[in-house]
Amino acid sequence: MNINVTKSYLPPLEEYVEYLAGIWDRVYLTNAGPLVVELEKQLRDYLGVKHLFFVNNGTIALQIAIKALELKGEVITTPFSYVATTSSLVWEGCKPVFVDIDPETLCLDPKLIEASITPQTVAIMATHVYGNPCDVEAIEEIAKRRNLRVIYDAAHAFGVTYKNNSVLNYGDISTLSFHATKLFHTVEGGAIVTNDDELAHKISYMRNFGHNGPEAFWGVGVNGKSSEFHAAMGLCVLPRVNELIRRRKEISEQYDRLLAHTPFARPRIHNETKYNYSYYPTLLPSEEVLLKVRDALIAEGITPRRYFYPSLNTLDYTDKQPAPVSEDVSVRVLCLPLYYGLEDADVERICAVIVETLQD
């Protein structure tokens, strides 16, 4: 049987169908329907945040965050993230300024931020890489002292806490992705999180064309809303998130044991973090070794992923700025399969192929 790097969790079909029956009865499909409202409430409660807006994907969440903060100019950001972190800045007319990453946590290195701040710098956009929190305290100190706004791309950080507080409560805005491959998903979807009442008021209009009632508009908006069908999936998946995390932790610990005597390295999780085991990233000694391991796994019907690759500072639509740590890590990092339905025997098979390949 083929094993992919991830497999979407699907709840019992009858539960989803029960929600569908309600949608058919109401004929209320979108535009802040009752299931969307209920999902937002349950997510606020589960995540421990003040304001949360369910939107149609994680990228539009980033774009609305940039618009809501009225960012124009240079934004310090990480070169080690999914492309949406950079492309959303460029799409919204900002200039990404890449600051290299910490070689242990793989998150934006706050010690390098100050040297890249110019009079044109308006914000910092950092990613909680693989759900591993950034050094949020150091970033907050710099941002306050230099009068910068902060956005966290928390696409991987669903349910993660730092010092017993949701990591989503740091910065001006945090964004989430609820794509089908994520720990918590709504098939397609995302969310914008903020504790700022004024920003929340602005975002509430911006995600729905700027509508203020059916015949009035409050500023420029975009179509960021999601549907009752997507909310229904979220309402089915959310009650199972703790169990999904529990099993993913088991699998991650099994990998740790079986790969303990190989040259695989792992990112260091920030201290005082309650982690969500969203991915299982490994760092190999070189790209040559990575390609050898990847190809051996693929030959056995196992598909890992080079995630994140390439380093975003090498994209052809950005200024070429050096980021040697990110460039090195991006060619050596490989995410192994990790999902709720992965069996212990599958993990043993994956690790056996890796160990055998490394011995050749």
40-64 pLDDT tens trace: 999 999 999 999 999 999 999 999 9
- Give CATH 3.40.640.10 domain extents, the chain: 13-239
Task: Determine the pLDDT at residue 324.
Answer: 98
The per-residue b/e assignment along 17-34, b for 16 or more CB within 10 angstroms, e otherwise, is eebeeebeeeeeeeebbe
Task: Determine the pLDDT at residue 26.
Answer: 97
CATH among 2.40.10.10, 3.90.226.10, 3.30.413.10, 3.40.640.10 for 13-239 = 3.40.640.10
Task: Determine the pLDDT at residue 213.
Answer: 73
User: Which residues 6+ apart lie within 8 Å of 333 measured at CB?
Assistant: 106, 281, 282, 283, 284, 290, 306, 307, 308, 309
Q: Letter for the amino acid at 148? A: L
Q: Residue 229 in 3-state DSSP?
A: helix
Residue 275 contacts residue 131 (beta carbons within 8 Å): yes
Q: Residue 75 in 3-state DSSP?
A: strand
Residue 336 contacts residue 130 (beta carbons within 8 Å): no
DSSP letter for each residue of 79-116? SSS-HHHHHHHHHTT-EEEE--B-TTT-SB-GGGTGGG
Look at the domain 240-359 and name its fold. Answer: Aspartate Aminotransferase, domain 1 (3.90.1150)
Over its C-alpha atoms, the chain yields an Rg (Å, rounded) of: 21
φ, ψ of residue 263 in degrees (nearest 5): -80, 15
Cis peptide bond prior to 310, omega within 30° of 0: yes
Task: Determine the pLDDT at residue 218.
Answer: 79
Task: Determine the pLDDT at residue 301.
Answer: 98
Q: Residue 333 in 3-state DSSP?
A: strand
* Run of H or E including 308: none
pTM: 0.96
Residue 234 contacts residue 326 (beta carbons within 8 Å): no
Residue 312 contacts residue 101 (beta carbons within 8 Å): no
Residue 12 contacts residue 207 (beta carbons within 8 Å): no
What angle in degrees, to the nearest 10, is found between the helix axes of 13-26 and 228-237?
150
Tokens of 344: 């212990």
Task: Determine the pLDDT at residue 209.
Answer: 87
d(CA 327, CA 251): 29
% of the chain beyond a pLDDT of 70: 100
Task: Determine the pLDDT at residue 211.
Answer: 82
Residue 282 contacts residue 335 (beta carbons within 8 Å): yes
Task: Determine the pLDDT at residue 210.
Answer: 79
Handedness of CA 8, 11, 16, 17 (dihedral sign): positive
- Give CATH 3.90.1150.10 domain extents, the chain: 240-359
- Match 């969500």 to its residue by tokens: 276
The model's pLDDT over 301-318, given as tens digits with 9 standing for 90+, comes to: 999 999 999 999 999 999
Task: Determine the pLDDT at residue 309.
Answer: 97
- Match 């790097």 to its residue by tokens: 5
d(CA 278, CA 167): 14
Residues of the chain with pLDDT under 70: none
